[in-house]
Amino acid sequence: MHHTRTRSTRRGLNAWRRVEGGFDAVLGPAHNPLRHLGTLGFLALWLLAATGIVLYALFDTSVAGAWHSVERLAHLPLGSGRLLRGLHRYAADLLMVVVALHIVREWLHGHARGARRFHWLTGVPAVVLCFITAIGGFWLNWDHLAQYSAISTFEWLDTLPLFASPLARNFLAPAAFSDRMFSLFVFVHVGLPLLLLFALWFHIQRLSHVAMLPPRRLTLGVVLTLAGLALVSPVLSHPPAALGQTPVSLRIDWLLLWLHPVTDATSPHVTLALLGGALAVLLALPFVGRASRPAAAVVHPQECSGCGWCFDDCPYAAISMVPRPGQPAGRLLAHVDTDLCTACGICAGACPSSTPLRTAEPLVTGIDLPRLPVTMLRNQLRAQLQHHLRHGAEAPVVAFTCRHGATLPHSTAHVVHSELVCTGQLPPSFIEYALRSGAAGVLVAACPEGGCEFRLGERWIAQRLTQRRPPQLRPLAEPGRLQLAFAAAGASRVLEQAVQALRARTHLREHPLHEHPSHEHRSHERP
């Protein structure tokens, strides 16, 4: 059973990657919405907050005046009222779509378990709050749709053994429905978002370098698209609510109000079972099956300089800088919280003592990844290069690739391949080491923007290799011998073309003279 589920998840992930690749081909990875679902969700929230504040300022929070105040929006100059209302509604639709896709993507990538279980479990209550807040927003219009939604919701709640008297009695007659009840509607739609913001803060508090907006062009494109929808297909009110009448023709927003038609077609007990079951499944998913958790990063105090680069680069705030025992005040030491560590190795790539140009054997670094330590990377690279230079017809290209990204085709000749947990694990000095050891060129293959399994690996390696982030790659005598490529899983052709481009630039010789790095100096990058 577990094997079948894993196979199904793998097929789902492959299908997702194909769709993601299609968007990459059209929009480019940097502006692919499927790679920025989290920040798109925040964008929808900021649009809802901004438009909601203005709408609330123009809103009459009374039963008698609510519908008329909403209707007056259509008469504001230059279509501004129609734009505000449309942006508010369509941003809510966008939020629900993005949340659903975000859940699917995170599950397919296996991000519900291990160190990321916390993010999954704190995200589930946020989804519930989004759903409740969205339904409550329809009630404030107090038209036929609001009447239908409110009565349907309260009748649905009455099936729960929570209330002494039926809530739906408040809608039996106009006299029974007062401004006091309408104040409850206002709280549901205005008060609960404050709880939602707190839930989202909790959801991301174990992440570092969190982006609150997508890339600028994607943000602009989404806002303009929603604005265009608001003007071309404006959100219109139904006739004002009349508790003595039964609404007949309604325009249902199926993204936000699907619960009511489904309840009408089945029963409140069926939809309660469906929602309760869905919630239980979401909360149980992180605990289903066995998930092997790789060993967390390890700090070697004797090699740690306390520079804090690993602390700055950790995507999951798993590293803190603590006072060094027995040392004067101000001397710091890295400390890893094993419950938060995802074992990505980005910290090892940030450590200045991770340079393979040091003569130490074995190479012990300030912080390292037990399953693929830097000394193992150096030894494997050295052995592969020496073997190829002894038996190969031409100097090889060294390719550092990501385990979660594209792989080189087996048919690619004269390549020494080193697979990393994440390309962010690569210390930049490995490029210099490979070139000095006889490599014709070096290919560093990272995941596309927004596609890193560990959030920030592709960003950090790009900045390190372009001297924008420590530890920086020292300027190469021949910059053309380094190629940085971005390719998602399945895009092997991209890496093959990158190798070909690198070969064309380096004018390969049969066996170039190369320096052996054994006489090189120690950690030139240590602060």
The CA-to-CA distance between both ends of the chain, in Å, stands at 53
Q: Do the bridges between strand 397-402 and strand 415-420 make them parallel or antiparallel, or are there none, so unpaired?
A: parallel
Q: What is the band of 172 on the pLDDT scale with cuts at 50, 70, 90?
A: confident
Give the span between the Cα atoms of 32 and 218, in whole angstroms: 8
DSSP three-state, residue 441: strand
Least confident of 110-124, 151-165, 309-323: 151-165
pLDDT (0 to 100) of residue 286: 92
Residues 306, 329: contact at Cβ < 8 Å? no
> Mean pLDDT, the chain, as a whole number?
91
With a cut of 80, say whether residue 165 has pLDDT above it.
no
Encoded tokens for 399: 């390719």
> Other C-beta atoms within 10 Å of 80: how many?
11
pLDDT (0 to 100) of residue 177: 84
Residues 425, 463: contact at Cβ < 8 Å? no
> Which residues, 6+ apart, have CB-to-CB distance to 391 below 8 Å?
none
Give the span between the Cα atoms of 365 and 265, in whole angstroms: 64
pLDDT (0 to 100) of residue 521: 38
Q: Is the dihedral of CA 423, 428, 431, 433 positive or negative?
A: negative
With a cut of 90, say whether residue 9 has pLDDT above it.
no
**Which carries the bigger pLDDT value, residue 522 or residue 290?**
290
Residues 66, 142: contact at Cβ < 8 Å? yes
Over residues 62-71, mean pLDDT: 94
Please report where in the chains the tokens 């090699």 appear, as a residue: 303
pLDDT digits (tens, 9 = 90+) for 393-404: 789 999 999 999
Encoded tokens for 88: 């508010």
pLDDT digits (tens, 9 = 90+) for 98-130: 999 999 999 999 999 889 999 999 999 999 999
Give the span between the Cα atoms of 137 and 129, in whole angstroms: 12
Alpha helices in 205-326 (DSSP H): 216-232, 254-257, 259-265, 268-284, 309-313
Angle of helix 37-57 relative to helix 80-108, nearest 10 degrees, comes to 150
pLDDT (0 to 100) of residue 232: 96
Over residues 158-177, mean pLDDT: 79
Over residues 15-23, mean pLDDT: 94
Integer-rounded Cα radius of gyration of the chain: 29
Choosing among 1.20.810.10, 3.40.50.700, 2.40.50.140, 1.10.3720.10, the CATH entry for 37-287 is 1.20.810.10
Q: What is the band of 519 on the pLDDT scale with cuts at 50, 70, 90?
A: very low
pLDDT digits (tens, 9 = 90+) for 461-472: 999 999 999 999
Give the span between the Cα atoms of 52 and 392, in whole angstroms: 67
pLDDT (0 to 100) of residue 507: 67
Burial tier of 203 (Cβ tally within 10 Å: 0-12, 13-18, 19+): buried
Domain ranges in the chain are 1-35, 37-287, 298-519
Give the span between the Cα atoms of 525 and 527, in whole angstroms: 6
Q: 445: closest CA among 403, 487, 398, 476?
A: 487
With a cut of 90, say whether residue 497 has pLDDT above it.
yes
- Cα distances (Å, whole numbers) of residue 73 to 172, 237, 483: 30, 11, 56
Nearest 5°: CA angle at 227, between 222 and 229?
95
Residue 313, phi then psi, degrees to nearest 5: -95, -15
pLDDT (0 to 100) of residue 3: 38
pLDDT digits (tens, 9 = 90+) for 404-458: 999 998 778 889 999 999 999 999 999 999 999 999 999 999 999 999 999 999 9
Q: What is the band of 291 on the pLDDT scale with cuts at 50, 70, 90?
A: low
DSSP three-state, residue 321: strand
